A and B are shown apart, each in its own frame.
Chain A
Amino acid sequence: EAGVTQFPSHSVIEKGQTVTLRCDPISGHDNLYWYRRVMGKEIKFLLHFVKESKQDESGMPNNRFLAERTGGTYSTLKVQPAELEDSGVYFCASSQRTSGNEQFFGPGTRLTVL
């Protein structure tokens, strides 16, 4: 069974540009989470989808970040315009049940904003 996949692995962009990250959860997982790890700091929650609905987006840093999950399958996270402090590793995770034990993580997308 394929795990959580993320695309791209690494993206380098200039300040002010737009970047879209993609996450494909494990098939059948209704719950999808986005997390971010900024260099030297702990992983932080960004938001949680249940199917196509945003269950909790309290961790989104500001309105430059837009997450979507049309159709309840894959999700995208767009940063527009990107700022230097957006650099970090963006992880996606999925789980079958909201109260389930385990969130399965993708390999992450490393975003570097120059």
Chain B
Amino acid sequence: AQSVTQLDSHVSVSEGTPVLLRCNYSSSYSPSLFWYVQHPNKGLQLLLKYTSAATLVKGINGFEAEFKKSETSFHLTKPSAHMSDAAEYFCVVSRIQGAQKLVFGQGTRLTINP
């Protein structure tokens, strides 16, 4: 079975400061991991995905995530927060069996303070 735990339901940072959104996963085999972002009243957009090629994954809008197998973590970071980063972020693990069945974490709401 696969599962994802996002360790913070809400993170608040000031504009220009670093962002850290934490995610731990559980998987009985090599996982595929994703981060999705959902802006208010919008659909979800893929930020980045880990596909076992490189442990440090760079995504859109300056975000990146590091896969750490020993810690079963896939934390999302950004060096400097922007007001437009305010959104809900989902860590996702996937089982690839033909179709891509995504298992979502509970989500972390990121608030940016001016």
A binds B: no
The interface of chain B, by Cβ under 8 A from chain A, is none
